[in-house]
Amino acid sequence: MKIPHFAPIPAALPATVPFVGPETLQRRRGRPFAARLGANENGFGPSPKAVEAMRVAVAGIWQYGDSTSHDLLQALSAHLEIPAAGIVVGEGIDGLLGLLVRLMVAAGEAVVTSEGAYPTFNYHVAGFGGVLHKVPYRDDREDLEALITRAHQVDARLVYLSNPDNPMGSWHDGTAIEAMLDELPQGALLLLDEAYVEFAPAEAVPRIAADDPRVIRMRTFSKAYGMAGARIGYAMGHPDLIAGFERIRNHFGVNRIAQAGALAALSDRDWLVHVQREVVAARDGIARIAMDNGMNALPSATNFVAVDTGQDGRFARALVDRLEEDGVFIRMPGIAPLNRCIRVSCAPAAELEILAEALPPALADLGAR
């Protein structure tokens, strides 16, 4: 006896996920990683104040979270100096991406992104029947002109841009993004993914009015605030656009522990500065390790570094797999020519030292040294 058939769109999709998680890889290898440097997590951890707030909130886990995230919304409003009506809280940027695609893209409508950019966005577009149109990176950055040109060619509903960028760590000046808005096709929305904005230089952050109807900006507590496991983030946009999320979102999807942690984390400016300093030091450390092994670290405005192996994607894949054997978890971009690189997350010095020790023999085994 067979199950009832799936709806047409999911029935036509492959049963794949955008990423294979480190826990899955650990189960396959039968032991944990010694250095977890592949998922762009914040190994320096969340604010101790956030940890304490979440600990206290555990006792109330029998209650649903506030469906409006009221206290966090008010705190974000004060922090960002924009009205609370222009902010929505959701289950990380990943969850908000899915909601936005559902809200804005009908089956068969065009969406523009970059070849090799964040694959979870593509996953959501496919899941709701949108048609993806991709443009290549240029000089290891997303190509703003090419994105706009393709958007006009296909009459795009959404244009995705991450700034700073994942997987390369590159960035554009905010003024370039401001100018990009003026070139958008009529009726298109720029989806600006700012997951790594707390690590970026000030000039990378565009000055865009909170109620500009041409853009929605998404940020997260997963990176700089060290709360990836809590799954909480937020989006900013025109109040009418943000109100649209009320039609489709999971109103009790953000749990009360995450709400409490995010609220405390947002208030702990000192810890954020501490993490930012640690990330700068770790980026420098990764660059030194790369140089010591005949490779080149690309400039980064994120909490990871793309390291150019100087070879091709086949070699980079072999290096990722070889380091995994030694308990070092890293990742790599999936599309040429970006896939000549490996991607290493910033982490405490002890974990980077494990990478430094594992890299020379791994390269030697691959005939690179």
d(CA 79, CA 76): 5
Residue 103's pLDDT is: 98
- Give the pLDDT confidence of 101-140 residue by residue, as tens digits: 999 999 999 999 999 999 999 999 999 999 999 999 999 9
The low-confidence residues of the chain, meaning pLDDT below 50, are none
The SS3 call for residue 162 is strand
Instruction: Answer yes or no: are the C-beta atoms of 321 and 38 closer than 8 Å.
Output: no
Q: How far is CA 118 from CA 100, 115, 270, in A?
A: 15, 9, 30
Q: Please give the pLDDT value at position 367.
A: 84
pTM > 0.85: yes or no: yes
Do 214 and 240 meet the contact criterion of CB atoms below 8 Å apart? no
pLDDT at 369: 57
Q: How far is CA 353 from the centre of its chain?
A: 25
DSSP classification of residue 272: H
**Radius of gyration, alpha carbons of the chain:** 21
Q: Are 110 and 133 in contact (CB under 8 A)?
A: yes
- pLDDT, residue 18, reads 82
Phi, psi angles (nearest 5°) of residue 4? -60, 150
Phi then psi dihedrals of residue 316, to 5 deg? -60, -40
* Separation in Å, CA 266 to CA 79, 80, 367: 8, 11, 47
CB-based contacts of 181, cutoff 8 Å, min separation 6 = 190, 208, 212, 214, 215
Residue 355 in tokens: 């990478």
Give me the phi and psi of 204, to 5 degrees please.
-80, -10
**Of 230, 245, 190, which Cα lies nearest the Cα of 92?**
230
Task: Give backbone dihedrals phi and psi of 277, rounded to 5 degrees, phi first.
Answer: -65, -40
User: Which tokens is 41 given?
Assistant: 């997590």
C-alpha span between 252 and 307 (Å, rounded): 40
Residue 198 in 3-state DSSP? Answer: helix
- Pair 47, 271: CB distance under 8 Å: yes
Q: Which residues, 6+ apart, have CB-to-CB distance to 221 below 8 Å?
A: 227, 230, 232, 233, 258, 261, 262, 265
CA angle 53, 57, 62 (to 5 degrees): 170
Domains of the chain: 8-45+270-365 (3.90.1150.10), 48-268 (3.40.640.10)
